[in-house]
């Protein structure tokens, strides 16, 4: 494996429920190299979504270390964490998380606008991306006039618009049919191969697992198996 872009070292994450602390991760350690296409899988409650949230700096561990591109997330200021999420990490969520009053184009360009990229560059990049994910001609539609699969394509375009190092995809195929899921996975594999973007999935979907080149299986917040695949 090459130089790690993601590192988790002995990560523990507990959540408080009333007066009780419930463990989600129990000393999780793993590395992901640049350019990998990895699925973290496991039963409900295994800790896979928690792991993604920690990698994406959406949550903080109870103990242990999380590094992205060599940055110890616990040592970054709130501003630097926000900039890391904006510039280096793309997110694709199960529920799409598109802004309903914005068009497909506006949703996809939102990260670039936050970065202060000029309008002409934004337009060129976003139109190219929408064509790349099969949405050419649909850029003016709002989410409620797009199918679930089309909305997820917008989410993928938004996730990679800022040329992130890593895309974290939490159950990205959960709300689409099998044919659409295959098309979405083909799109993400193409982006991985052509752009070198590292993809890390949280999933229990066999279709995602079949496409992954590495399968990390969690059980009770620990790595049960870690399988490299051709």
Angle at 5 between CA 27 and CA 78, to 5 degrees: 75
Over residues 151-180, the mean pLDDT reads 90
Give the total number of structural domains in the chain: 1
Round the average pLDDT of the chain to a whole number and report it. Answer: 92
Return phi, psi of residue 151, to 5°: -60, -40
Q: What is the pLDDT of residues 29-45, one digit of tens each?
A: 999 999 999 999 998 88
CB neighbour class for 121 (10 Å; exposed up to 12, middle 13-18, buried from 19): exposed
| E strand residue ranges, the chain | 4-17, 20-33, 37-41, 63-68, 71-72, 89-92, 166-170, 198-203, 214-219, 222-228
Band of residue 4 on the pLDDT scale cut at 50, 70, 90 = very high
Query: pTM to 2 decimals?
Result: 0.91
Q: What is the DSSP letter of 73?
A: G
Say how far apart CA 118 and CA 190 lie, in whole Å: 27
pLDDT of residue 142: 96
Say how far apart CA 191 and CA 169 lie, in whole Å: 13
Q: What is the pLDDT of residues 82-140, one digit of tens each?
A: 999 989 999 998 888 899 999 999 999 999 998 889 999 999 999 999 998 889 999 99
pLDDT of residue 2: 66
Band of residue 229 on the pLDDT scale cut at 50, 70, 90 = confident
**Strand, helix or coil at 62?**
coil
- Whole-number CA gyration radius for the chain: 17
Nearest CA among 86, 92, 88, 84 for reference residue 156: 92
Range of the structural domain that residue 46 is part of: 4-228
CATH value at residue 218? 3.40.50.300
């Amino acid at each position: 494996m090459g130089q790690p872009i993601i590192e988790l070292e002995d990560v523990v994450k507990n959540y408080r429920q009333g007066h009780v602390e419930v463990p989600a991760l129990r000393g999780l350690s793993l590395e992901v190299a640049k350019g990998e296409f990895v699925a973290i899988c496991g039963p409900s409650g295994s800790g896979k979504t928690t792991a993604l949230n920690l990698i994406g700096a959406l949550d903080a561990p109870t103990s242990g270390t999380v590094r992205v591109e060599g940055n110890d997330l616990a040592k970054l200021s709130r501003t630097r964490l926000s900039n890391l999420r904006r510039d280096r990490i793309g997110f694709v969520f199960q529920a799409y998380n598109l802004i309903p009053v914005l068009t497909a184009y506006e949703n996809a360009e939102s990260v670039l606008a936050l970065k202060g990229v000029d309008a002409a560059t934004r337009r060129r990049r976003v139109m190219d991306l929408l064509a790349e994910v099969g949405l050419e001609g649909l850029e003016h539609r709002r989410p409620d006039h797009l199918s679930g699969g089309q909305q997820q394509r917008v989410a993928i375009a938004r996730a990679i618009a800022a040329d992130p190092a890593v895309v974290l995809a939490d159950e990205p195929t959960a709300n689409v049919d099998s044919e659409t899921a295959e098309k979405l996975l083909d799109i993400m594999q193409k982006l991985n191969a052509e752009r070198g973007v590292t993809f890390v999935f949280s999933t229990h979907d066999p279709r995602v697992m079949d496409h992954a080149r590495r399968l990390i299986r969690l059980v009770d917040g620990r790595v049960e198996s870690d399988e490299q695949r051709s």
